[in-house]
Amino acid sequence: MAELSQVAEWFGLPEVNAPLTGVVLDEYWYLPEVRIDATVGNPGPSLYVMGMRSQGKPFFRLAVKSGVRTVKVDVLQPDPTAERPVVRIRANPSIGIPADVTATAGTQTTWQTLSVTINPTANGAFILELENPDPEKPCWFDNVKVQ
C-alpha cells in the first residue's frame, strides 16, 4: 500500500491544480497495487506516473471553488484485451455535482487523455477516482490537471 503523501507527490497535485485550494490528506485511502513507475510517462518517463498492477480504485479528495472545472488525466492501457482505465468524479450534490461524471479510455494501446468536466455551484470538495477495472493487467495514470 502506498502512502498518501507519496501519491499526492507523484501527481504533483499542489503545483498543477491552480483552481484548487488544496488536497485533503487526512482520509483513509486504500491503494492496492499502486506504485510509482519511472519507466513510462507521457511524453516520456517521469517520477509522477502512477502504475496500477491490477484492479483498484484509488481516490483523491480535492478542494474546489465554484465554476466550470475540467479534470484531465493521461492514461495508458497497452494491452488491447484488457478492460479500459476509467477517470471518475463522484457525485457531491452539496456542491452541485448531482451525479458521477465518468470517462473511459478507448481501445487504443497508446497514451490518451481522458477529460471530465464539472460545474460546482458552491465551494467544497470532490472525489477524483482513478480506476483500473482489470483484475490481471496493469495500467498507468499521468499528468493529472484541473483547469
In the chain, where the domains are located: 4-146
Report pLDDT for 115. 97
What is the distance between the alpha carbons of residues 15 and 13, in angstroms, rounded to a whole number? 5
Report pLDDT for 83. 96
Report pLDDT for 51. 83
pTM greater than 0.85 (yes/no): no
Cell of 81: 484485451
For the chain, strand residue ranges (E) read 34-36, 50-52, 59-64, 69-76, 86-89, 101-104, 112-118, 124-131, 139-146
Cell of 121: 455551484
Among the listed residues 70, 53, 89, the one whose alpha carbon sits nearest the alpha carbon of residue 147: 70
Sheet-wide strand order for 69-76: 34-36, 50-52, 139-146, 69-76, 112-118
End-to-end CA distance of the chain: 29
Whether 37 contacts 106, CB under 8 Å: no
CATH number of 4-146: 2.60.120.260
Q: Write out residues in the chain with pLDDT < 70, as ranges.
A: 1-33
